[in-house]
Amino acid sequence: LIGDTIEFNTELAYNIACKIVSNSFSILDSEMNSIGAGIYIIPALFNHSCNPNCVVLFDGCKMKLRTIREIAQNEQLFVSYTDLLDTGERRRKHLQKYYLFCCSCDRCHDDKMEGSLNSLMYSTRAIGGKNVIGSSEQSDHIS
């Protein structure tokens, strides 16, 4: 042991817990039901956008990151931290409450983009794309 007594540092424990919560992913089944949570180190580095270029999918506990549109060379990869079908106001409130930032992406500032993305975002065609993380296959479509 390091000494006779171990002091519990409440502030340090709180900071660690907050980092774990804000960087973890809900593991979802095929019907979008949460079946657990996981920490995936590289995907935890991706920033948020309400107009993401990638989506996170799961095969059991294995995470897959797939593109949902063409991505230019050196373009940053974005995922959404919130429900993209929510209104802009609800998305921003969720992000402020759980991730402590106010979203300033293009979609949050463009009312025309808001409506068009809601109808497009979760079509089967939009989710099909190239695997970025989680598989060696170059193209994999969701049926």
How far apart CA 65 and CA 13 sit, in angstroms, is 31
Give the residue from 108, 103, 118 showing the smallest Cα distance to 94.
103
pLDDT, position 136: 40
Kindly list the distances between the CA atom of residue 3 and the CA atoms of 6, 7, 110, in Å, as whole numbers in the listed order.
7, 10, 59
pLDDT, position 128: 52
pLDDT, position 131: 53
How far apart CA 38 and CA 24 sit, in angstroms, is 5
Pair 70, 56: CB distance under 8 Å: no
Burial 84-111 (b: 16+ CB within 10 A, else e): beeebeebbeebeeeeeeebebebbeee
Give all strands (DSSP E) within the chain, no chain letters: 24-28, 34-39, 47-48, 54-59, 62-67, 78-79, 131-133
Q: Is the pLDDT assigned to residue 69 strictly greater than 70?
A: yes
Pair 106, 51: CB distance under 8 Å: yes
Task: Give pTM, 2 decimals.
Answer: 0.65
Write out pLDDT tens, residues 117-133.
554 444 434 445 555 55
Element containing residue 91 per DSSP (H, E): helix 88-99
Q: Is the pLDDT assigned to residue 55 strictly greater than 70?
A: yes
Lowest pLDDT segment from 37-41, 45-49, 68-72: 37-41
Residue 37 pairs with which residues in a beta bridge? 26
How far apart CA 133 and CA 25 sit, in angstroms, is 15
Write out pLDDT tens, residues 11-39.
999 888 888 887 888 887 878 788 888 88
Write out pLDDT tens, residues 74-106.
999 999 988 888 888 899 999 999 888 888 888
